Structure 1
Amino acid sequence: MGIFDNASGQAVPGGSVAKPLMIALGALLVGKMLSGGSQSSASSSSSTAQASGEGGGLSGLLDKLSNAGHGDKVSSWVSNGPNTPIQPSQLGTALGPQTVSSLAQQSGLNEQDLLSQLSQALPGVVDKLTANGQVPSQQDIAKLFQG
């Protein structure tokens, strides 16, 4: 997965991302998990996302976290400097129970383990993906998962 392996490997304590976490990150960063565009079971919080004007992918995820009161954390991940951590419970509340449940099913992790691992990995992964201070397009992120 090329660049994404580098981004995630440096972003996660211990330096590697387990396959279940990669599945969850892929669903969040590439999939339609947070947008209203997909009618599959992976589309969980579609009415909330549509109502707030959020799209899918990384941009939609960052919007969702910001709208849940974590804009300061999101800003620290995208900008230069240290990344402000997010607690598993904060991430779970921001994503919503349906999204967390769907991610857990897709990854094979239980919800607590998923949120714990995502809360550790997400700040660093977002930081690496936005190294120039710009959020890449969903298509650019999809290429990283394919590469």
Structure 2
Amino acid sequence: MGLFDALIQEVSAGREAGGDGRARLLGDVFNMLTNPSTGGLPGLIRQFHERGFGELIDSWVGTGAKLPVTPDQLAQVLGSDRIDQLAQHAGLSDVDTARILAEELPRLVDKLTPDGTVPSHDMLRQGFELLKGKLG
């Protein structure tokens, strides 16, 4: 199975598991991870390192065991304003948004980096466009 087939399955599973709010949230996260103007995945990796949580995200990118992240740790990395913005757009509470992100972000980063390397922004953006087309 290819990288983007795996990502399509992740978003589809998110839709089934939590409805439209969860699917919107995952779509926003994909956009955040693939958008060079927001720093994309490399920017997120840098944020984790700057805030002292580099070993967490490095485990998601790497090919070994994946370390868990808590909603509180994510709030420290992303900031409460970013969590609130994502929550409002998804129609979810901040608490639910942080919880879903703590569950899904490690898996999404892992899926985006299947061989332990960070793909280029162009490749991520093309995959995101493919996802949007397949998911409507």
User: For this structure pair, what is the TM-score category when the shorter chain's length is used for normalisation?
Assistant: 0.7 to 0.9
Q: How many angstroms does 1:92 deviate by?
A: 0.9
- Where structure 1 has 5 or more consecutive residues not aligned to the other structure, the ranges are 36-55
Identity %: 34
Aligned residues: 122
Query: Which residue of structure 2 lines up, in the alignment, with residue 7 of structure 1?
Result: 7
SS at match of 1:134: coil
What CA RMSD, in Å, does the superposition of the two structures yield over aligned residues?
2.3
Q: How does 1:1-147 map to 2 (within 5 A)?
A: 3-4=3-4, 6-7=6-7, 9=9, 16-18=13-15, 19-31=23-35, 35=38, 56-147=39-130
- Where structure 2 has 5 or more consecutive residues not aligned to the other structure, the ranges are 16-22, 131-136
More helix by percentage: 2
Structure 1 segments, 4+ long, off by >3 Å, are 2-5, 7-10
* Residue type of the alignment partner of 2:7: A
TM-score by length of structure 2 reads: 0.77
The 3 A distance-change label for structure 1 pair 81 and 31 is same
TM-score by length of structure 1 reads: 0.72
Alpha-carbon separation, structure 2, partners of 1:81 and 1:26: 23
CA deviations on 1:61-85 (whole Å, 9 max, x unpaired) are 1110121111111111111111101
